Structure 1
């Protein structure tokens, strides 16, 4: 078994992967906002690469990190940005990147599957991999012509996520028998380091937790006074929202925020509450930037190759999901938590997470109280240990 698995390379997981779209480090937060709204994925990469350099024939291009709508939402919720979100949108895009090193790592297509798993267990969320192309095709690659590009120094890249690796292992699950049939409790992979917030607490008190859950690729459980899991505030759900959610976070309770970001759009009564509380809190900056003006959906088929919106462009009214052009390409999730039990098998939890496009599953008791959380990283530890014993 080990010989067969160790023969796989990262390139085997990259088959059919689309070229990675990116932003240059010189872009602004407004550029990132427009790019995310027109993209088919929730994340976009940020690169440092001088394509016009006259000093070097082969300038080194490096992926500095990745960002999503959650990064922008949390950035707009900072005290210094609440009064003037329009000015905040003019900031350089690197202000959105996590300061934690190693979240994005460059690897070669010839790297082994085992090496990829080790990098993920060391903290990598995405592995940036050059797309193999023949020399003839590479010469025909067009030069970058817009702020969003898929080409860096004449090379296209894709990236692998933890989900990609788990999906690949699920296709080979029979090779690990009987490990996949054992319960997550028996395997000891239930993590007790998880984030929760009280249902009635202010949503703004969870801003730091939202940022941490994005880095950890987990979620924030919303519980009642008895510790019962009611729902969650998930970065995976927030990533499908737009920037106006910043106003909701600053004015609503955790429970009301769940209703606001739930599938289908925020109830009108909650939208009115947000507008009233913005006025009460003297947050006219957010009110003017996100509420004034007619609703303006961005679902017009625009792409990164078209003109990006500027910080002075009126933003849409308070809404949940305005990227209609890519709606069908995304898995839109509800605020209802995805749960399993300590006795659930490893393979069942894997399938559950993959089906719902998340990298974690909450573990609860029969009374719905939180026991812990299981992540893709926890699962990969099991497979890595199993492979280690076979080498």
Structure 2
């Protein structure tokens, strides 16, 4: 029954109500990408090849921040912000794939298991969408809205997991089994010591975007303290690159908390930037980026400067702390004996693609991801 259900479920069923995809040309600059990200409610902006009309990737705030953390970018922010966006895109092939609306959900799952994070799907034309499109063409926008006359949306791993969760009864007894029993806990995780420089985690942060995971922060005995979360980093603006360049991993975790960084950490960042002769970096970011008019760093008032380094109010996100508290650090966690369906519900509720797996003493066991969950569903179908 589950096989026939997935086989007859079209990708278009998951596209209902999805917003039109916002996009940029791969020839756009880093500064233009920042402007688009800050004016969008979406975490990612799609990037297209104008000549071929093909989506070649996606970019998020964390991609940009990691690029700005490079030594050459810190030394010359002017050149960094004028760099073509193609230099920032992930070089990992197949992260974004095109798929027709008539494709089956099984095809979508297979593409995800091959490495796709986002599936670009054409929006089927309706009378209402045609009217909206004409209105949109009358408005000025820095992003591309259509390609060869077609508009698109995209599906994520979360969309597929949410759809499966709505029909979870078809997969009995799989949902009741523990993630330990299913063997979907990965022990090979991205991690960094609490006291290590945050700058040493930039490579791991970039890799976590590709893997759709996060970077664990551990103490000396391997106890899980928290994480450097791409989700939280995406809530910040480009000035968080200064925090990454100057703070420890543990302090960065506190700095990027969605409530905004503590004033003492802002003061530390400013002082260390001065020591490193990088104090003009924040000013150049602000002058060159066409979006921070309300948070200027050029003010002579130190209180104004500090407030501009905090998370902009429009980029903060709130969420429940009920299942995220681990030794006063925020992280979505579960136990090895947690059931598959419980893990799915927990991840969906917190809008993450992974859960850290820890023991009762907070020792880190590993991580479970949406990709590994989908693999279990796919393998289950083959045994029916």
What TM-score results when the alignment is normalised by the length of structure 1? 0.87
> Which whole-Å CA distance do the structure 2 matches of 1:26 and 1:331 have between them?
36
Q: CA deviation at 1:321?
A: 2.5
> Which whole-Å CA distance do the structure 1 matches of 2:143 and 2:47 have between them?
10
Q: Which of 199, 204, 208 lines up with 1:213 in the alignment?
A: 208
- Residue in 2 that maps onto 1:149: 144
- Residue in 2 that maps onto 1:311: none
> Which whole-Å CA distance do the structure 1 matches of 2:310 and 2:31 have between them?
19
1:72 aligns with 2:64: yes
Measured against aligned partners, the alpha-carbon deviations of 1:37-59 in whole angstroms (never above 9, x if no partner) come to: 11011111111125xxxxxxxxx
1:288 aligns with 2:283: yes
- Residue in 1 that maps onto 2:220: 225
Q: CA deviation at 1:297?
A: 5.9
- Residue in 1 that maps onto 2:312: 322
> Which whole-Å CA distance do the structure 1 matches of 2:312 and 2:260 have between them?
10
Q: Relative to 1, partners in 2 of residues 1:217 and 1:94: Cα closer, same or farther, differing over 3 Å?
A: same
What TM-score results when the alignment is normalised by the length of structure 2? 0.89
> Which whole-Å CA distance do the structure 2 matches of 1:378 and 1:245 have between them?
31
Q: Relative to 1, partners in 2 of residues 1:323 and 1:40: Cα closer, same or farther, differing over 3 Å?
A: farther
- Residue in 2 that maps onto 1:272: 267
Give the helix-richer structure, 1 or 2.
2
1:221–1:232: 8 Å Cα contact kept in structure 2? Answer: yes
- Residue in 1 that maps onto 2:298: none
Q: Secondary structure at the match of 1:152?
A: coil
> Which whole-Å CA distance do the structure 2 matches of 1:81 and 1:317 have between them?
23
1:39 aligns with 2:40: yes
Q: Secondary structure at the match of 1:164?
A: helix
Q: Secondary structure at the match of 2:151?
A: strand
Q: Which of 336, 343, 351 lines up with 1:349 in the alignment?
A: 343
1:190 aligns with 2:180: no
Q: Relative to 1, partners in 2 of residues 1:291 and 1:140: Cα closer, same or farther, differing over 3 Å?
A: closer
- Which runs of no fewer than 5 residues in structure 2 stay unpaired? 296-304
1:84 aligns with 2:100: no
- Residue in 2 that maps onto 1:241: 236
Q: Relative to 1, partners in 2 of residues 1:239 and 1:40: Cα closer, same or farther, differing over 3 Å?
A: same
Q: Secondary structure at the match of 1:133?
A: coil
- Residue in 1 that maps onto 2:29: 28
Q: Relative to 1, partners in 2 of residues 1:327 and 1:200: Cα closer, same or farther, differing over 3 Å?
A: closer
My pick for the range that moved more, 279-288 or 62-71, is: 279-288
Q: Which of 91, 94, 99 lines up with 2:91 in the alignment?
A: 99
How do residues 114-193 of structure 1 correspond to structure 2 at under 5 angstroms?
Answer: 114-134=106-126, 138=130, 141-142=133-134, 143=137, 145-193=140-188
1:299–1:323: 8 Å Cα contact kept in structure 2? Answer: no
> Which whole-Å CA distance do the structure 1 matches of 2:88 and 2:144 have between them?
19
RMSD: 2.5
Q: Relative to 1, partners in 2 of residues 1:259 and 1:140: Cα closer, same or farther, differing over 3 Å?
A: closer
Q: Secondary structure at the match of 1:154?
A: coil
In the alignment of these two chains, the number of paired residues is: 363
Measured against aligned partners, the alpha-carbon deviations of 1:316-338 in whole angstroms (never above 9, x if no partner) come to: 965342261x657x769986111
1:245–1:318: 8 Å Cα contact kept in structure 2? Answer: no
Q: Relative to 1, partners in 2 of residues 1:332 and 1:298: Cα closer, same or farther, differing over 3 Å?
A: farther
Q: Secondary structure at the match of 1:363?
A: strand
> Which whole-Å CA distance do the structure 2 matches of 1:348 and 1:133 have between them?
37
My pick for the range that moved more, 112-121 or 148-157, is: 148-157
Q: Secondary structure at the match of 1:282?
A: coil
Q: Secondary structure at the match of 2:154?
A: strand
- Residue in 2 that maps onto 1:306: none
> Which whole-Å CA distance do the structure 2 matches of 1:70 and 1:110 have between them?
33
> Which whole-Å CA distance do the structure 1 matches of 2:354 and 2:128 have between them?
42
1:5 aligns with 2:6: yes
2:266–2:306: 8 Å Cα contact kept in structure 1? Answer: no
- Residue in 2 that maps onto 1:362: 356
- Which runs of no fewer than 5 residues in structure 1 stay unpaired? 51-59, 301-314
Q: CA deviation at 1:134?
A: 4.2
Q: Secondary structure at the match of 2:188?
A: coil
1:378 aligns with 2:372: yes
